[in-house]
Structure formats: structure tokens, C-alpha cells
Amino acid sequence: MTRVLARIAMSKTIAEINEKIKKGEAVVVTAEEVINLAKKKGVSRAAEEIDVVTTGTFGPMCSSGAFLNTGHSKPRIKLGGGKVYLNDVPVYTGIAAVDLFIGATAIPDDDPRNKFYPGDFNYGGGHVIEELVAGKDIRLTATAYGTDCYPRKKLETLINIRDINEAVLFNMRNAYQNYNVAVNFSDKMLYTYMGVLKPNLGNANYSTAGQLSPLFNDPCYKTIGVGTKIFLGGGIGYVAWHGTQHNPAVLRGDNSVPRRGAGTLAVIGDLKQMKPEWLVGTSMLGYGCTITVGIGVPIPVLCEEILRYSMVTDAGILAPIVDYSEAYPQGKPDILGEVSYAELKSGRIKVQGKNVPTASLSSYPKAIEIANILKRWIEKGEFLLTEPVAPLPGAESGIIFKPLKERPI
């Protein structure tokens, strides 16, 4: 990380900020509060006075799941390579004997899916994770092939997060740095992961916390890196890596903020200390199951430049408007224009001359709550910042977000 940080003239270090946090003297503000505060005080004075800016986001994040280690039964059973269900939701077993992975979008084998269109998708992996975190008993049913060392072939039992050895939330792609605004140009209702889209530009759905969102406040990943300690699902987690589809080299505004979907985070944390209100099983009509995840990232104000980034407002963030009846499903790059989050939050935007009502899939009130919880943790000295151990790839990394190249077998 020093490689990245060395480029900027530092006025503070993370170690110094942590000393202040331990003494209960750190000045912490949310990414919403910092906007007016820094304007009033002036950037240089604000950068000196403010130590940490807290961010937050609470939206559906499909690339989420949990690794569980159930402990060994007597006699032993090799769940690895077998078939295992948690509350009838299939889990991934292609790892060691009693390690499992439950993914947020998994659904029961007998779910009718979209056979009765649009499917309800009332219960899936995300809901199992929510119930697990809530301390509810979960039904585990398993069949295995049996080996000399793992003779058992069947297992049916209740499990509880309190009793199993490990439960680790590991989300491969969360906290997208920007995202499409979804509209529907066709004359049919569309059921998408961006919600229900009414025909003929009937609505426009977006999903972001905007000016509160973690990566919008550190658009060039100058402080957020591998190892950054974060608020995750109501507990503590860490940035594990850059997320899948991390795409830093997209078009950016003068304020360095990406104007397209860009950076993402892979995050990890002990599920046992998380809370169900911040990991909510979610159903997207006609699309599938997922989980709504709460994430908050603290940004250490090491210098004026970092503070200036954190002052980003909804008016300064642009998102592309994409037609989900044609451009998105067909993988075409066309966009219908750009719109700022301030315009989106006004409740109506103009798309090709038409007045279109807007709705969000990401909760702004919950994002504020997350930023405030994280702020309180830091103010009370309960949460110290970490020095990243490696940077996230930036615009200079040469990363290109590739489509799948299909080849005949």
C-alpha cells in the first residue's frame, strides 16, 4: 500500500489516527456530513481536523455466500462430493469432508423457478444465511457415497450457527462502485435483477447509496485496499481482494468518479458476529433469490486529496441509463444517456424526452445508519483502522473487463 500512498503528500498516518481513536479523540464524520462540514471549514482545515469519514451501503449483492464447517458426525460422513441441502436449498460440497458453501442465489430443487412466470423466488440461499445469522435452527439433509474412512451415507439433522465450528461470510463481489440505471423500452413488463421494469419507460430503477457509497468516496482506491477493516453485515469484516469484474479503467469524470460500473470489493468476515438485519434474504420477482448486504468502509483522512474525494455529492456522480429489454440482455454496449444520482433521487428523470419516475433498490436510510454505526464504533474506540497490505488495482493496472469468448468444442 505504501506504493500508492507514497504518491500523495501525507499529513497524517493511519497509526496516528489509531492513537487518537484509542484515546477517544478521533474526529469522525459520515460521508454525508463531510460534504457541508468541509465546505464550511475549507478543505485544508477540514483535512486537518477530520480523521475518518465513514461510508455505507445496503443493497442486493448476489455474489455473496458463506463457508460453513459443520463438525464431524459419528460415524463420519463425507459431505464433500455428496449432496447437501440446508432448509432444502442446495449447497456446494466440492471441498473437504464437512466444509460447505451456501450461495445467496441457490434455490430449492423443487422451486418452480420461472415455470409460472414471473417466479416468486420466496426462499433461497440468502434467506438461509439470514436465518442462520438470526440463530435459527437450520435443517441439514445430506447423502454421500460412503468411504472406508467416512462410512455414513445419510444425515438429517438440525444445525445452529452457535454449534458449528466456523461460519464465514465470503462475498466475491460486493459494493459496486457505480451501476446502470435500468429502464424498459419494450411494451412488455420485465422482471429483472434491477426489479420490475414497467413497459414503455414506465420506471427507472437504480441501485446505489451514491454520495455515501464506499468506493465513490475513494474513487481511485487510495486508502481502501486488501486488508481494510470494514463494517460487514452488522459485524466486522475485511476487504479480501478486489471483487470479480473489478473494472477500474472505465470512463471517469473530472472528479475521478467512474461514470460506469467500475471497482468492486471481495469481502470476508466471521458470520457468527453478524446480525440478520444487515444480511437480509431478498427475492427478485421473476429473477431469483439474493441477499441484501450492509457494508461500511472507514476512510482515513490522510491528506487534503483524500478528504476532497470524500466530499463527492450525488450531483457529481453520473450513471448510464441502460435498456433492459434489448441492450442489456443482448450484451450491447449502447446507453440511452447519463443521469446524476441527484436527478435520480429527485424522483423523476428525463429519458429521451419522457418523464420517468425513479426507484432505488439500495436503501439510503440504511446506508446512513451503517455509516453512523461505524462512526460510533470508531468514536468509542472499539474499531481501529487497518493499514492495507496490498492496493486494489487502479486505472493504470491494465485490467480489461472481457465478455466471454465462445469457442466451438
Binding site for other proteins (CB under 8 A): 58-60, 118, 120, 122, 195-196, 198, 202-205, 280-285, 292, 345, 347, 357-366, 368
Q: How many CB atoms lie within 10 A of CB 396?
A: 9
| Identity of the residue, 120 or 379, whose beta carbon is nearer to other proteins in the bound complex | 120
Cell numbers found for residue 132: 442462520
| Identity of the residue, 32 or 304, whose beta carbon is nearer to other proteins in the bound complex | 32
β partners of residue 390 = 226
- Cα separation, 100 vs 69, in Å, equals 6
- Cα separation, 251 vs 258, in Å, equals 6
Residue labelled with grid coordinates 486529496: 305
Smallest gap from Cβ 60 to other proteins, in A, equals: 6
- Cα separation, 291 vs 61, in Å, equals 6
Smallest gap from Cβ 107 to other proteins, in A, equals: 15
| Identity of the residue, 178 or 207, whose beta carbon is nearer to other proteins in the bound complex | 207
- Cα separation, 275 vs 377, in Å, equals 15
- Cα separation, 361 vs 192, in Å, equals 12
Q: Answer yes or no: 149 catalytic.
A: yes
| Identity of the residue, 213 or 247, whose beta carbon is nearer to other proteins in the bound complex | 213
Q: How many CB atoms lie within 10 A of CB 245?
A: 16
Smallest gap from Cβ 88 to other proteins, in A, equals: 17
| Identity of the residue, 150 or 278, whose beta carbon is nearer to other proteins in the bound complex | 278
Smallest gap from Cβ 146 to other proteins, in A, equals: 40
Dump the DSSP string for 300-341.
E--SHHHHHHHT--GGG-EEEEEETTTTTTTT------EEEH
Smallest gap from Cβ 338 to other proteins, in A, equals: 20
β partners of residue 246 = none
- Cα separation, 238 vs 250, in Å, equals 25
Among the options 149, 220, 289, 303, which is catalytic?
149
Per the CB < 8 A criterion, the answer to whether 143 and 153 are in contact is: yes
* Enzyme catalytic residues: 149
